[in-house]
Structure 1
Amino acid sequence: MTQYPGTGLARALMAALLGGLCLHAAHAQTSLPSAALAPPGARAAAAEPAQISRDARRAYESTRDKLVQIRTLLRNSNTQASVGSGFFVAANGLIITNFHVASQLALEPERYRGVYVPIDGKEGEVELLAFDVRNDLALLRVKGAVGGMPVLGFREADKPLARGERIYSLGNPLDIGFAVTEGTYNGLVQRSFYPRIFFGGALNPGMSGGPAMDDAGRVVGVNVSKRLDGDLLSFLIPADFAKALLARSADAQPITKPAYAEVARQLAAHQDLLTARFTAAPLVPQKHGGYSVPVPEDSLARCWGRGREPGFKGFDVERTDCQIDSHLFAGDFNTGFIQLRYEAYDAPKLGRWRYSTMASRSFANESFRTQGSRKSTAAECSERFITTGGMAMRAVVCMSAYRKLPGLYDVSVLTMSINQPVRGVQGRLDARGVSFDNGLKLVAHYLAGFKWEAVP
Structure 2
Amino acid sequence: MMSIHSFLCRLALCCAALAGASAHAQVAAAAPPAAHAEPVSRDAQRAYESAREKLVQIRTLVRNTNAQSSVGSGFFVSSNGLILTNFHVASQLALEPERYRGVYVPVDGKQAEVELLGFDVLHDLALLRVKEAGASTPALAFRDPQHALARGERLYSLGNPLDIGFAVTEGTYNGLVQRSFYPRIFFGGAINPGMSGGPVLDEGGEVIGVNVSKRLDGELLSFLVPAEFAQALLARAATLAPITSSAQAEVTRQLLLHQQAMTQRFTTTPFKAQLFHGYSLPVPEDAMARCWGRARDADLKSYEMDSTNCQLDSQLFAGKVTTGFIRMRHVAYDAPKLGALRFAALYGKHFQNERFIATPNPQGTASECTERYVDRGGMPMRAVVCMLAYRKLRGLYDMSVVVTSLNQPTQGVRGRMDAYGVDFDNGLKLAAYYVDAFKWEATP
TM-score for both structures, normalised by structure 1: 0.88
What amino acid does structure 1 have at the position aligned with 2:435? L
Whether 1:55 aligns to 2:47 is no
Whether 1:331 aligns to 2:342 is no
Look up the match of 1:105: 93
Whether 1:428 aligns to 2:382 is no
Q: CA deviation at 1:390?
A: 2.7
Q: CA deviation at 1:311?
A: 8.3
Look up the match of 1:202: 190
Question: Of 326, 330, 343, which aligns to 1:342?
Answer: 330
Look up the match of 1:192: 180
Asked whether the 8 Å contact 1:188–1:198 carries over to 2, the reply is yes
Asked whether the 8 Å contact 1:389–1:450 carries over to 2, the reply is no
Question: Of 399, 402, 421, which aligns to 1:411?
Answer: 399
Residue 439 of structure 1 aligns to a residue whose secondary structure is helix
* 1:299-351 residue CA offsets vs partner (Å, 9 max, x unmatched): 10001001124785100010000000000000012000001000000000000
**Distance in 1 between residues matched to 2:413 and 2:170, nearest whole Å:** 48
Asked whether the 8 Å contact 1:389–1:448 carries over to 2, the reply is no
Whether 1:277 aligns to 2:274 is no
Out of 137-146 and 262-271, give the one that drifted further: 137-146
| RMSD between aligned residues | 1.6
Distance 1:312 1:437, change over 3 A: farther
Question: Of 288, 298, 302, which aligns to 1:314?
Answer: 302
Q: CA deviation at 1:144?
A: 1.4
Q: CA deviation at 1:430?
A: 0.2
Look up the match of 1:438: 426
How many residues matched? 410
Distance 1:77 1:301, change over 3 A: same
Look up the match of 1:376: 364
Q: Larger RCO: Structure 1 or Structure 2 (Cα < 8 Å, ≥ 6 residues apart)?
A: 1
What amino acid does structure 2 have at the position aligned with 1:367? R
Q: CA deviation at 1:147?
A: 4.5
Distance 1:311 1:68, change over 3 A: farther
Look up the match of 2:122: 134
Distance 1:172 1:252, change over 3 A: same
Query: Runs of 5+ in structure 1 lacking a partner?
Result: 1-45
Whether 1:117 aligns to 2:100 is no
Out of 301-310 and 109-118, give the one that drifted further: 301-310
Asked whether the 8 Å contact 1:389–1:449 carries over to 2, the reply is no
Asked whether the 8 Å contact 1:338–1:430 carries over to 2, the reply is yes
Whether 1:360 aligns to 2:348 is yes
Out of 147-156 and 132-141, give the one that drifted further: 147-156
* 1:393-422 residue CA offsets vs partner (Å, 9 max, x unmatched): 110000000000011000000011011000
**Distance in 1 between residues matched to 2:83 and 2:364, nearest whole Å:** 33
Q: How high is the sequence identity, in percent, across the aligned residues? A: 67
Asked whether the 8 Å contact 2:298–2:304 carries over to 1, the reply is no
Question: Of 52, 62, 72, which aligns to 1:74?
Answer: 62
**Distance in 2 between residues matched to 1:343 and 1:312, nearest whole Å:** 18
Q: CA deviation at 1:283?
A: 1.0
* 1:138-172 residue CA offsets vs partner (Å, 9 max, x unmatched): 00000111451010000000001100000000000
**Distance in 1 between residues matched to 2:271 and 2:40, nearest whole Å:** 47
**Distance in 2 between residues matched to 1:197 and 1:300, nearest whole Å:** 18
